[in-house]
Structure 1
Amino acid sequence: MPLNAQALNTATFADLLADTHHTAVHLEMRDVYAVGDERDDYAAFLRTGVPNLDPTRSFWPQWMPLVQDAVARGVVMRRARIVSEPVTDYIRYEHAITPLNLQAGEDVRWLPRRRASDIPLPGNDFWLLDGQLVQFHHFTGTGAWATNGRERTSVPAAVALCTTAFETVWERGVPHEKYTVQAL
């Protein structure tokens, strides 16, 4: 990534993704997230069981153009999720809205946690950009963003761990279209 150290610390994720040329991979490992931009849609899903698949609502108007632009530039975007089974209500919701990730241009796979026991994993969710930069995400125990919600590094050992972890999860993962959630 050509960003200098100061720019790297102040850059938004959109800036980082705009500077990505080949790959952007995301590993999610939590069973519950409580991030504010999903609150209303998640509550409605819990009440109705119907996902909001309107790409003009919630956080999608910001996310979809970022992904579509990256994919149009040739960036391969993959997202893998390690989940406990039976899944939580949140994972059921996340699975139901994943068609919007696919519509934007991401490829998504799911890995049951029992199949991840022998995979060395970092302690936090992350994005790995161009195999060079890791952005770790920090959450509270309830799934909200922690005060310092992100940490970025290009330390070779961290990059190697994240690369190996993601690729192993991806290889074992089930493509979204074939993964069926087993609710509690």
Structure 2
Amino acid sequence: MELISSAERNQLFEQFAQDAFHLELRDDYSVPDEDGPYASWLRGEPVDNSYMEPWLRMVRRVTGEGKTVRRVRVVTEPHSPYIQWEHATTSINEEAGEAIRWLPRHDVPGDLSLPVDGNDWWLFDGRLLAVGHFDAHGRVLGSELVDAPEVVSECARVRDLLWGLAIPHNEYKP
């Protein structure tokens, strides 16, 4: 399996035409750029969110072009500290133009089989997947690009189902 870096995956945002959708299934992400801000938040200190600016700038640009960037975050309740922090900072993403919804894990249909071995993924225009892979400590290893029609189609079906079940950020009260 060949993996691309997060920077290479982010280049896909320069190429999609209409919709980029992210399914997040983990209760903790060990993203190096977030280590300092997350630690500050845990200590109750002010958080410098400037590390997010390249992402937010890109989201503002593509959503300004009429494209959508959406996420469903499937989360365990009660929330891990990381999910609490993520919820507290989601308004920054939404102000840039992302649409983010939350789905408690216990509300995921019991008969739903999650595609791509239950990994997180980005689906671009219902045609291309970037499947996230992580090490045992939760660090991102990279993304696997998948364009097999049957896999992409199943992910699009799951996207539509979970988007319809998930709760918009401003209505989700942890």
Q: Which residue of 2 aligns with 1:140?
A: 135
* 1:178 and 2:149 aligned: no
Give the one of 38, 41, 49 matched to 1:45.
Answer: 41
Query: Counterpart amino acid of 1:79?
Result: R
Listed one character per residue, the Cα deviations across residues 70-122 of structure 1 (whole Å, up to 9, x for unaligned) are 11121111110000000100000010110111011000000000111332212
List 4+ stretches of structure 1 deviating above 3 A: none
**Structure 1 residue 39: deviation in Å?**
0.2
User: Which range is displaced more, 117-126 or 160-169?
Assistant: 117-126
Contact 1:28 1:81 in 2 (8 A): yes
Query: Counterpart amino acid of 1:114?
Result: H
Query: Counterpart amino acid of 1:77?
Result: V
Unaligned runs of 5+ residues in structure 1 are 1-8
Output the TM-score relative to the length of structure 1: 0.85
Equivalent residue runs for 1:16-31 within 5 Å:
16-31=12-27
Q: Which residue of 2 aligns with 1:4?
A: none
With over 3 angstroms needed to count, the CA separation of the structure-2 counterparts of 1:97 and 1:151, relative to structure 1, is same
Output the TM-score relative to the length of structure 2: 0.89
Contact 1:51 1:96 in 2 (8 A): no
Q: For 1:15 and 1:32, how far apart are their aligned partners in 2?
A: 24
Query: Counterpart amino acid of 1:125?
Result: D
Equivalent residue runs for 1:97-176 within 5 Å:
97-116=89-108, 117-122=110-115, 123-146=118-141, 149-176=142-169
Contact 1:21 1:73 in 2 (8 A): no
Three-state SS of the structure 2 residue aligned to 1:151 is: strand
Contact 2:9 2:143 in 1 (8 A): no
User: Which range is displaced more, 158-167 or 82-91?
Assistant: 158-167
After superposition, the CA RMSD in angstroms is 1.7
Contact 1:51 1:97 in 2 (8 A): no
Equivalent residue runs for 1:84-95 within 5 Å:
84-95=76-87
* Overall identity of the aligned pairs, in %: 39
Q: For 1:13 and 1:144, how far apart are their aligned partners in 2?
A: 16
How many pairs are equivalent? 167
Q: For 2:111 and 2:87, how far apart are their aligned partners in 1?
A: 24
